[in-house]
Amino acid sequence: MVLYKLEDFEPNYRDAFEGHDISGLGVYTQGTDEKIGTVSDVLVDEEGHFRYLVVDLGFWIFGKKVLLPIGRARIDYNVDRVYTIGLTREQAEDLPEFNERQALDYDYEERVRGVYRQPVNSTNTLDASAPVEASIPVDTTYQPTTTTPIYNRDSYNYEHEPSLFGLNEQDHQTLKLYEERLIASKHRQKTGEVSIGKRVETDTARVTVPVERERVVIERVTPADAGTAVSGREADFREGEVARLEIHEETPDVRKEAFLREEVRVRKVVDQDTVETQETVRREELDVNSGNFPIEER
């Protein structure tokens, strides 16, 4: 049977105890009201049932920590105290010391249980004002006997010893009222997709280019001295004389170049909105049927 520290088993255990913290409560003997130590921790089993209180016996035995079975303790939050049932100084001295660094095994627990099985001088009624749930049969009185039963390590169960591990809920019962609350959360889901790409379109562009073309103009004119005789040397008759002129013209030379026209920037914008939803929730209310008995609510 594996035992766990309460805080390791359930870090938020204080919520179940309405903010109360068991650790730090003073431990007193029932009847004599003598302080014997302080609760330093709580050990629970795999199902979360309280099994032991770890008690620092600094007021009785300096520096010693021992285990106190939950059935031998009564927790009173009204005075922030834990009362032990039938624990004597002699028993405390006989208890094996609890060491957090050492694992708890059956043999160690048997040594602890063996001390508490020893008979004491009085019979004490068990109590459990702490809001601890127990799903085991309850023996309402601790009645030690001189005959120690023989337990088997393979079949031992805490329910075998209700005088050590049972909780009496007869006089102190806790009725828990529950209610449902709406817990709002959000989840993301895909509602669509936007695809942005490019395509190439063609168009016909026109450009005007001024060009020049050369042409030959032949003019025949009558000189002013037409009809005047010339000498034989001046008159040079040559056949086949030709005048040559080069003719040029301009033609348009058009090429294409790419230029940056614009940039397209794509981003997402989150719009904030508030969505209201409703659901039916349940709540438990206290229904008191007292008959003719007066009831005081606090």
Kind and range of the H or E element at 81?
Answer: strand 81-84
- In this structure, the number of other CB atoms found within 10 A of the CB of residue 10 comes to 14
Q: Using 50, 70 and 90 to split pLDDT, how confident is the model at 134?
A: very low
- Mean pLDDT for the chain? 79
Share of the chain above pLDDT 70, in %: 81
Q: What's the confidence (pLDDT) of residue 131? A: 38
The better pLDDT of the pair 59, 140 is held by 59
Query: Alpha carbon 126 to chain centroid distance?
Result: 41
7-11, 45-49, 176-180, 209-213: segment of lowest average pLDDT = 176-180
- 204-213: long-range pairs with CB below 8 Å, 24+: 207/254, 209/252, 209/254, 211/249, 211/250, 211/251, 211/252, 212/248, 212/249, 212/250, 213/248, 213/249, 213/250
3-state secondary structure of 194: coil
CB 132 within 8 A of CB 50: yes
CA-nearest of 119, 116, 127, 133 to 82 is: 127
Q: Using 50, 70 and 90 to split pLDDT, how confident is the model at 293?
A: low
pLDDT digits (tens, 9 = 90+) for 215-256: 999 999 998 888 888 887 777 777 878 888 999 999 998 889
Question: What does the pLDDT average to over 175-203?
Answer: 85
Residue 47 has pLDDT above 50, yes or no: yes
Kind and range of the H or E element at 163?
Answer: helix 162-165
